[in-house]
Amino acid sequence: MAETPLQGQVSIVTGASQGIGRAVALRLAQLGSAVVVAARNQAGLEAVVHEIEQSGGRALAVRTDVRSPEAVAKLAAAALQSFGRIDILVNNAGIGHFGSPLHEMPPEAFAATMETNLGAVYLAIRAVAPHLIQRRCGHIINIASLAGHNPLPGGAAYAASKAALHGLSVSVAEELRGYGIRVSLVCPGSVDTDLSPDLVGGKDRGKMLRPDDIAHVVAMLATQTSQSFVSEVLIRPTLKP
Ligand SMILES: NC(=O)c1ccc[n+]([C@@H]2O[C@H](COP(=O)([O-])OP(=O)(O)OC[C@H]3O[C@@H](n4cnc5c(N)ncnc54)[C@H](OP(=O)(O)O)[C@@H]3O)[C@@H](O)[C@H]2O)c1
């Protein structure tokens, strides 16, 4: 029989219509969690919900633009209304504008990168933390990038948004740990998804990380015993792409 350590728990995964978020949602569902999947592409979300339900799990699609405070508040409310609680919040939605130096980046693209990769994480924490504080437990898992640690020419705004997400995460971790709430940051290297072709240029896709590699790490974090937590994980492919 499959192990279901997250039975009875409820997770929200943003950016779950494809890529890493989809893999994370499927993995959390496999572990027994009900999963609320959020993104803008309704068809993508419904496909993930269908896949989870076909395997006997519980899931809900909530079409959400994570840059909108109203939409994110509705996402948290929908999770509570449908499943009665929230245990895990995976802030995964993200975009990248790659290929040109920062001085050539249009202001709208810079703003969109910051709003999606950083501002949306604030909005989701703002919407969900009061509930976690009330229950004095929960786990917030933010998906950043090795680009937040290393130079990424042609992706300066992306790198800056992920470095800022590091600062946000470690600070919020201290704000919330007294309530028994854990905050973890996951920093993958290049993953074979739609986001990465521009990011990695001529790299060998066969050697890149796969969405399942990231889902595996999120599962490890979410199933860790509750008296400790991992602040940050850096994930690298074994063979250099
Ligand atoms: N791929 C890599 O090499 C890599 C490496 C390190 C970290 N990451 C990070 O991993 C996360 C997932 O990326 P991925 O590689 O899986 O890319 P992806 O396949 O392009 O998926 C991105 C997801 O984010 C969602 N999203 C984007 N803007 C959104 C918005 N305004 N509102 C709601 N959802 C939004 C997209 O859904 P909709 O378009 O349906 O809204 C999609 O589900 C990102 O934070 C990314 O920075 C990726």
pLDDT in tens, 54-71: 999 999 999 999 999 999
Q: Is residue 180 part of a domain?
A: yes
Token representation of residue 7 = 């039975």
Q: Is residue 198 part of a domain?
A: yes
Neighbours of 133 (CB within 10 A): 16
What per-residue confidence (pLDDT) applies to 226?
A: 87
What per-residue confidence (pLDDT) applies to 206?
A: 84
Neighbours of 151 (CB within 10 A): 8
Q: Is residue 241 part of a domain?
A: no
Domain count, the chain: 1
- The residue whose CA has the least distance to atom 42 of ligand 1 is 15
Token representation of residue 2 = 């499959």
Token representation of residue 184 = 């973890």
- Among the options 38, 60, 87, 158, which is catalytic? 158
What per-residue confidence (pLDDT) applies to 195?
A: 94
Counting atoms of ligand 1 from 1, which one is nearest the CA of 208? 3
pLDDT in tens, 189-199: 999 999 986 55
Q: Is residue 4 part of a domain?
A: no
Q: Is residue 171 part of a domain?
A: yes
CA of 16 to the centre of ligand 1 (A): 8
Q: Is residue 2 part of a domain?
A: no
Alpha carbons 142 and 169: distance in angstroms, whole number = 7
Low-confidence ranges of the chain (pLDDT < 70): 1-2, 197-202
Q: Is residue 1 part of a domain?
A: no
Structural domain containing residue 102: 10-235
The preferred substitution site among 117, 191, 194, 205 for testing ligand 1, maximizing ligand atoms within 8 Å of CB, is 191
Assign residue 56 the CATH number of its domain.
3.40.50.720
